[in-house]
């Protein structure tokens, strides 16, 4: 009996799962984390209005969500001062990146990103047979000039750039990003991942024509809005590119409860502003804890901060392992020299106390081992 005949492309894809969640780590450890600071979630949670809207919508979940995401799309358009034809809503930025890559990238097509940037983008590119070209970070920042130069050299159909960047928390001045958009090579699309945009200072927010066909901005309710589990992302782009998503997306893929929650969250800018403030305070607190133990926190415009452990990747990995042993869920960059850092998400006072308690012991254990 012959088994399923997978496509040639699928046969080349690794069967290993690159995405290990904190729950899997908890199951392996046999006990829960005391502080969940590894996935850049917002421990401060969604707006109470969003929680209420989701609780109310739970009774209505017998109905499919509106496949057009009409109300949310129109509300987002008003919020972003663009037209509804400039907005596509999808199952988180992860889902939207998958659709975008599928629209543009077939076997052998060139795509550019930074070594050590968002791995889920790379997963999608590989999944559709694209060929990834990676440029290196420069001084812990993604390098716009190098990205564009590489895109030009290889004739890329897609170039990925996150601002603010994950995992480093670094960002570029508004003018640099606007210049980058202006310089995208012909026939290439810049995917500008702005998952952490709400944490930028207003003067750092790039101004981009939503009808510019060279760029699509990606936003999410997973970070500042505190709704990672709801899976709501959106793209802002030119109407032609936005409409193309309708050719491939899972039209009934959005949770009705999530649609309702996002709509309510958008209607509570006061709460959002308060979270952004609280996150800044928390990031500063993490920086102070790091400094108390001789470590430097990098500047961050996100809801997490990279802490330079002062030595190499092996040392930082040992510190990370020590934190996880001590029930603190954190993650770290994959690629040198950024992997000299660990990445810690903003947390509550209680979370930071757990971190502050675990860090010196984790450092001591790492120093003893290496």
By CB under 8 A, the residues from 154 to 183 that bind its own copies are 157
CB of 116 to its own copies, least distance (A): 19
Asked if 102 is part of the footprint of its own copies (rule: CB under 8 A), the reply reads: yes
Residue 86, interface with its own copies (CB under 8 A)? no
Structure tokens at 205: 């927010």
Q: Does 23 bind its own copies (CB under 8 A)?
A: yes
The binder of its own copies chosen from 91, 140, 194, 268 (CB under 8 A): 91
Of the candidates 99, 84, 72, the one whose C-alpha atom is nearest the C-alpha of residue 189 is 99
**Least distance to its own copies, CB of residue 60, Å:** 7
With binding defined as CB under 8 A, does residue 367 bind its own copies?
Answer: no
Binding its own copies (rule: CB under 8 A), the pick from 244, 324, 330, 363 is 244
Rounded CA-CA distance 176/170 in Å is: 13
On the question of a cis peptide bond just before residue 167, with omega within 30 degrees of 0, the verdict is yes
Q: Does 211 bind its own copies (CB under 8 A)?
A: no
How far apart CA 316 and CA 339 sit, in angstroms, is: 7
From candidates 34, 79, 127, 284, binder to its own copies by CB under 8 A: 127
**Least distance to its own copies, CB of residue 157, Å:** 5
Which candidate, 136, 135, 132, places its Cα nearest to that of 124?
132
Nearer to its own copies, 39 or 146 (CB): 39
Going residue by residue from 3 to 22, which x/- string records binding to its own copies, judged by CB under 8 A? xxxxxxxx--xxx-x-xxx-
Q: Is the peptide bond before 351 cis (omega within 30 degrees of 0)?
A: no
CA atoms within 13 A on the CB side of 225: 27
| Residue 186 in the binding site for its own copies (CB under 8 A) | yes
Return the residue of 243, 273, 296, 370 that touches its own copies, per CB under 8 A: 243
Report if residue 193 touches its own copies, rule: CB under 8 A.
Answer: no
Stretch that binds its own copies, among 60-68, 146-154, 301-309, 310-318 (CB under 8 A): 60-68
Question: How far does the chain reach from its first CA to its final CA, in angstroms?
Answer: 53
146, 228, 276, 298: which one binds its own copies (CB under 8 A): 228
The 287-316 site mask, x for binding its own copies (CB under 8 A), equals ------------------------------
Instruction: Tell me which DSSP letter residue 331 carries.
Output: B
Least distance to its own copies from the beta carbon of 141, Å?
26
Q: Is 217 in the site for its own copies (CB under 8 A)?
A: no
CB of 238 to its own copies, least distance (A): 8
How many C-beta neighbours within 10 Å does residue 37 have? 29
Beta carbon of residue 115, minimum distance to its own copies (angstroms, whole number) = 21
Note whether 250 binds its own copies by CB under 8 A.
yes
Please tell me whether residue 215 adopts helix, strand or coil conformation: strand
Phi, psi of 208 (to 5 degrees): -130, 135
277 vs 199: CA distance, rounded Å: 9
Rule CB under 8 A: choose which of 37, 75, 87, 95 binds its own copies: 95
Its sign, for the CA torsion 227, 228, 229, 230, is positive
Concatenate the DSSP letters of all residues of 121-185 into one string: HHHHHHHTT-EEEEE--BTTB--HHHHHHHHHHHT-SEEEEESS-TTT-----HHHHHHHHHTPP
């Amino acid at each position: 009996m012959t088994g399923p005949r997978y496509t040639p492309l699928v046969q080349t894809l690794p069967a290993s799962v690159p995405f290990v969640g904190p729950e899997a780590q908890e199951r392996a450890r046999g006990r829960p984390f005391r502080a969940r600071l590894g996935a850049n979630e917002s421990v401060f949670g969604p707006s109470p209005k969003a929680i209420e809207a989701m609780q109310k919508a739970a009774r209505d979940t017998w109905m499919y969500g509106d496949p057009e995401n009409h109300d949310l799309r129109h509300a987002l358009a008003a919020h972003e001062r663009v037209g509804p034809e400039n907005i596509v809503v999808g199952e988180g930025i992860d889902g939207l990146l998958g659709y975008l890559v599928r629209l543009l990238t077939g076997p052998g097509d060139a795509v550019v990103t930074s070594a050590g940037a968002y791995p889920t983008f790379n997963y999608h590119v590989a999944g559709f047979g694209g060929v990834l070209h990676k440029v290196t970070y420069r001084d812990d920042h993604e390098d716009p000039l190098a990205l564009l130069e590489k895109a030009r050299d290889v004739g890329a159909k897609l170039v990925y750039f996150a601002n603010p960047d994950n995992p480093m928390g670094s960002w570029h001045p508004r003018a640099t990003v606007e210049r980058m958009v202006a310089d995208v090579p012909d026939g290439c699309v810049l995917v500008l991942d702005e998952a952490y945009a709400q944490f930028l200072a207003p003067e750092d927010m790039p101004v981009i024509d939503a009808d510019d066909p060279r760029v699509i901005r990606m936003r999410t309710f997973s970070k500042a809005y505190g709704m990672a589990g709801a899976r709501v992302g959106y793209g802002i782009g030119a109407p032609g590119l936005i409409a193309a998503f309708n050719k491939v997306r899972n039209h009934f893929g959005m949770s009705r409860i999530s649609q309702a929650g996002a709509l309510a969250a958008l209607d509570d800018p006061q709460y959002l502003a308060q979270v952004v403030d609280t996150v800044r305070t928390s990031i500063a607190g993490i920086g102070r804890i790091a400094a108390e133990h001789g470590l430097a926190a990098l500047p961050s415009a996100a809801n997490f901060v990279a802490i330079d452990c002062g030595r190499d990747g092996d040392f930082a990995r040992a510190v990370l392992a020590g934190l996880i042993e001590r029930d603190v869920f954190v993650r770290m960059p994959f690629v040198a020299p950024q992997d000299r850092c660990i990445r810690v998400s903003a947390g509550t006072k209680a979370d930071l106390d757990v971190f502050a308690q675990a860090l010196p012991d984790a450092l001591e254990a790492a120093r003893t081992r290496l």
